A = this chain, B = another copy of it.
Amino acid sequence: MSFLRDEPLDLSRLVVSVSAPERGAVACFVGTVRDHHEGKSVIRLEYSAYRPMAEVECDRIVAEARSRWDADVALEHRTGVLEIGEASVAIAAAAPHRGAAFAACRYVIEEVKRRVPIWKREHYADGTIGWVEPSQARRPPVGQAAGDASLGPVDSTSQDDWAV
């Protein structure tokens, strides 16, 4: 199975894939392409990836979420050109109870943003194009060398951060 997709994502398919008679709670997340970024009007977006590593990293994240919350988890990320409103990422997490489903789902989107080697390039209404840098919150703290970021899994002591 591939986590990276060149075709439109289908949340319903993910929900079906994780649902089961013993798991009565499904939490989902869909990220869609916004029409603006830092004051500029965006008309379309292009996602590229270091595909083999992105697949491996997605697989690790999903496995971590499954084992931590006894959930079943499905994840897909778009690559290629996306129009405004199209889904860039879709996640479904099913568990016997909703707390675990929400926590697993939230964990996966945070870790995808933090660890999966994917980049995006925005096409603006004024004809310019720009690589999107992660927001301030995701840059290394001030005083640390730029780019000296870590993408290892969160250590187990921070698991509570994901409780929802």
Contacts and interface: CB of A to CB of B under 8 A. Distances in A.
Nearest to A103: B164
B98 A29 contact: yes
Copy count, this protein chain: 2
Interface centre among A25, A30, A35, A109 (most CB of B within 10 A): A30
A29 B28 contact: yes
A24 B28 contact: no
Nearest to A29: B27
Interface secondary structure of A, over-half rule: mixed
A33 B25 CA distance: 9
| Interface size classification for chain A | 20 to 34
18 contacts: A11-B12, A11-B15, A19-B85, A20-B85, A21-B84, A23-B32, A24-B33, A25-B29, A25-B30, A26-B29, A26-B32, A28-B29, A29-B98, A98-B109, A102-B102, A102-B164, A106-B164, A164-B164
Given A22-B34, A28-B28, A102-B102, 20 more contacts: A19-B30, A19-B32, A20-B85, A21-B34, A21-B35, A21-B84, A22-B35, A22-B36, A23-B32, A23-B34, A24-B31, A25-B30, A25-B32, A26-B30, A29-B98, A29-B102, A34-B96, A98-B109, A102-B105, A164-B164
Interface of A: 11-12, 15, 19-36, 84-85, 96, 98, 101-102, 105-106, 109, 164
